[in-house]
Amino acid sequence: MSYAQNTLGASGLAADAKSLNLLKLQAGQNTPGAIKEAAKQFESLFMRELIKSMREATMKSGLMDSPGGDLGADLLDQQFAVQMSGQPGGLSDLIAKQLARQMGGDDAPSNPEKPSLMPLSSLSKASSLAAYGAPSPGSAQGRFVQRHTQTAAKVAQASGLPASYMLGQAGHETGWGQHEIRLKGGAPSHNLFGIKAGSGWTGKVAEVTTTEYVGGVAHKTVAKFRAYDSYEDSFRDYARLITQTPRYAQAAQATGSVQAFASGLQKAGYATDPQYANKLSRAITSTLALQRSMA
């Protein structure tokens, strides 16, 4: 039995602090085999967290929910993570290079034509996400989430709506801040949620061309949208709309599931796009994954 098999157990995945410490010790042996195995295990951990976040974002039926079922799902996630790790050209190769460089010490030769690899701690928060197509903190989505996280958290505390749900929807509606609604002359409307200005709205208005779906067919039309003095005003108005308007009551009570919340908004007529719930679910799920990497 190899050292890795002896320390990591039958699951093949370091899942606790003790196992991680042993994994680091194993990498410290500074042999190609030990470094390769350690890199594979680190990649497995990243994959497990990614799979876990995707599972948590999936709506449950409630018929088979139980502590035993949750344990079984967790064990299954571990096995999927192990099987998907260690592939040629994957994240484990990058981690292995980083470990070999670190184990080589300060006198290890460097290549001036290649940039130095990022610290291993940074790989766990950025490179692992990029390797599997998830957003990175430096992307447009990452910058948008970072910019509005504090405001979303503040409004979430007052309204009860999850900050990640609001951030995901605001990002989806604005193309992660790249297509915000603007007033005549180019000034920002601060409207992050695409809320229209109906007859009862007495505030500022931005009139722009938008896409609406009639019978599943997209049409361009000019519509009036609410305008605010700040992004915080936008978050607060959105929260009031969802939590205090009867038509959105079902969605407001379904915040335990990303898909249920998104479906509730679509059923209530928040948007005319027939694929709105699916698109919104993806935006919120990727926001959740991004927030985990930034934590």
Q: Tell me which H or E stretch contains 61.
A: none
> Does 286 lie in the same domain as 163?
yes
Last residue of a domain, one of 79, 96, 131: 131
Please give the Cα distance from 30 to 36 (Å, whole number): 10
**CATH code, domain with 285:** 1.10.530.10
> Does 201 lie in the same domain as 287?
yes
Specify the DSSP class assigned to residue 197: -
> Does 284 lie in the same domain as 155?
yes
Structure tokens at 136: 């990175």
pLDDT tens for 122-181 read 444 544 444 444 566 778 999 999 999 999 999 999 999 999 999 999 999 999 999 999
Last residue of a domain, one of 110, 131, 152: 131
Among residues 128, 146, 141, which one has the least CA distance to residue 283? 141
> Does 149 lie in the same domain as 124?
no
Whole-number pLDDT of residue 32: 72
pLDDT tens for 32-68 read 776 677 777 766 776 666 666 655 555 454 554 555 5
> Does 40 lie in the same domain as 153?
no
> Does 58 lie in the same domain as 184?
no
Residue 250: pLDDT band (50, 70, 90) is very high
Q: What is the average pLDDT value for the chain, to the nearest integer? A: 77
> Does 177 lie in the same domain as 288?
yes
Contact 29, 22 (CB under 8 A): no
Residue 281: pLDDT band (50, 70, 90) is very high
- The boundaries of the domain holding residue 289 are 140-294
Buried b (16+ CB within 10 A) or exposed e, 115-140: eebeebeebbbbbbbbbeebbbbebe
Among residues 289, 284, 280, which one has the least CA distance to residue 136? 289
Among residues 71, 4, 68, 1, which one has the least CA distance to residue 39? 4
Last residue of a domain, one of 89, 108, 131: 131
Residue 230: pLDDT band (50, 70, 90) is very high
> Does 183 lie in the same domain as 93?
no
Catalytic residues: 212, 237
> Does 47 lie in the same domain as 114?
yes
pTM of the model: 0.59
> Does 253 lie in the same domain as 187?
yes
> Does 58 lie in the same domain as 15?
yes
> Does 220 lie in the same domain as 267?
yes
Q: How many domains does the chain have?
A: 2
